């Protein structure tokens, strides 16, 4: 306790009184993100800095006292990367929430890490611009968290993921030094790409305090269609035709291409009362934001029908399209209601192996006697098998964990990766070692050692 008192005293020397939280009833709200099966400890304190200088003070204090630091955003993550460990400082960055600049000529925004994704999207839209990365939790998640986990979203198939929009970063290193990486220009190849190194590093290399982000012109409103299929295989065949062409015409680039299986559809209906078709085995949502989206949708409707769709229903306007997309955004929340607890996987496979992934997950569910719903960013092969179980039932919990592991193994077997956008955190650290191999793991640990020689930044995550 004496060491903790010294730590708190030193923190308060450079922070406002309300920026250091020590009441266990208050700090308990900051101990974990939304991942299951990930342990969380009791922090010595939660700090909520409002300036870069205050973040530097926290890191210098942590280095002097050899105190671990766990950076956090909005704690919407699904891998345990934001979970506290005993005696750590939780560095909550949600108070650094200013949009510092929106430049329509250079097409960039400069923001602090606590800016909420949706708030940035709305702000740039007022100037005719767009920030495309749109995780399902975009109304809550922060840009800093998106950068930490290299987040994706529904529109990745056309517009790409967070890493492709981060031009430059200001990062506070473990010893409190401030590092600036990257650029404000459209192009730049000076030196190693340290900016990309920090994207997806889950707070293990430094603390992002400012980001320069690329913007695009605001696209036309999306128009969507929904296609019903008698099997997941047929839906995946349609995905391959849409993206790869039919041998006569080239493939398409939809603004999004999303899939929900029957289990997910039922869960979404139960939650939203939207009346989605529950008799179909898979529902494919495709949307285009081209100047003439109806033409693209008509071509995709033909491809879906040729792949075996039993019904194809185009939205009549942007409002109907928005409802379809809202149904997809509700999928993970809806699946939580099935049994009360979920383990949400995040396995990405080549699009050409998507059908094998879905049929394999169905077999895993049957073998383990569990409900596993699948929704997917089908256009880029990123699947989210969601294991539904009763956490109060030890046997069911054990089968849920076994299913989760089997799903990751299946993804690697199909040439995929254990995480497409949720990150590694605590949940998948053993599987990261399998995916990287011994040489890759050794080099990544070496990078960590260079940036954080005392292993104070989010220790125990990733490796």
Q: Please tell me the predicted confidence (pLDDT) of residue 291.
A: 87
Strands 45-47 vs 89-92: parallel, antiparallel or unpaired: parallel
Average pLDDT over every residue of 321-330: 89
pLDDT above 80 for 259: yes
Average pLDDT over residues 400-424: 97
pLDDT exceeds 80 at position 1: no
d(CA 423, CA 29): 22
Contact 96, 51 (CB under 8 A): yes
> What pLDDT, on the 0 to 100 scale, is given for residue 140?
96
Domains of the chain: 2-92 (3.30.43.10), 99-217 (3.30.465.10), 223-413 (3.40.462.10)
What is the tens place of the pLDDT at every residue in 25-78?
Answer: 999 999 999 998 899 999 999 999 999 999 999 999 999 999 999 999 999 999
């Amino acid at each position: 306790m004496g060491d903790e008192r010294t730590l708190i005293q030193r923190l308060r020397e450079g922070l406002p009184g309300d920026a250091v939280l020590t009441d266990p009833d208050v700090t308990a709200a900051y101990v974990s993100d939304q991942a299951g099966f990930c342990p969380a400890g009791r922090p010595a304190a939660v700090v909520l800095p409002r300036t870069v200088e205050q973040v530097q003070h926290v890191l210098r204090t942590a280095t002097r006292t050899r105190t671990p630091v766990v950076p956090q955003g909005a704690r919407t993550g699904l891998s345990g990367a934001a979970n506290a460990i005993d005696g750590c400082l939780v560095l909550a960055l949600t108070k650094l929430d200013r949009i510092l600049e929106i430049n329509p000529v250079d097409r960039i925004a400069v923001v602090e890490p606590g800016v909420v994704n949706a708030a940035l999207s709305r702000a740039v839209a007022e100037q005719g611009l767009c920030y495309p990365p749109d995780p399902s939790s975009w109304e809550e998640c922060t840009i800093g968290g998106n950068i930490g986990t290299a987040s994706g979203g529904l529109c990745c198939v056309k517009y790409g993921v967070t890493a492709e929009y981060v031009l430059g970063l200001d990062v506070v290193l473990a010893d409190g030094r401030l590092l600036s990486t990257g650029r404000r220009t459209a192009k730049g190849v000076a030196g190693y790409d340290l900016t990309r190194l920090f994207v997806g590093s889950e707070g293990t290399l430094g603390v992002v305090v400012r980001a320069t982000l690329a913007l695009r012109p605001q696209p036309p409103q999306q128009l969507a269609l929904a296609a019903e299929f008698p099997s997941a295989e047929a839906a995946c065949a349609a995905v391959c035709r849409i993206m790869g062409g039919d041998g006569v015409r080239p493939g398409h680039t939809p603004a999004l291409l999303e899939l929900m299986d029957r289990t997910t559809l039922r869960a979404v209906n139960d939650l939203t009362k939207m009346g989605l078709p529950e008799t179909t085995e898979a529902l494919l949502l495709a949307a285009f934001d081209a100047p003439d989206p109806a033409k693209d949708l008509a071509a995709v409707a033909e491809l879906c029908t040729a792949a075996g769709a039993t019904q194809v229903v185009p939205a009549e306007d942007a409002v109907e399209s928005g409802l379809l997309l809202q149904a997809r955004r509700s999928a993970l929340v809806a699946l939580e209601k099935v049994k009360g607890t979920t383990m949400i996987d995040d396995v990405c496979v080549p699009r050409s192996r998507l059908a094998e992934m879905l049929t394999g997950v169905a077999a895993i569910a049957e073998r383990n006697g569990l409900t596993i719903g699948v929704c997917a960013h089908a256009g880029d092969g990123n699947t989210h098998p969601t294991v539904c179980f009763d956490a109060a039932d030890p046997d069911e919990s054990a089968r849920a964990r076994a299913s989760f592991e089997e799903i990751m193994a299946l993804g690697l077997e199909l040439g995929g990766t254990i995480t497409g956008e949720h990150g590694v955190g605590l949940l998948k650290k053993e599987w990261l070692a399998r995916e990287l191999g011994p040489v890759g793991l050794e080099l990544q640990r070496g990078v960590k050692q260079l940036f954080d020689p005392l292993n104070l930044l989010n220790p125990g995550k990733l490796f």
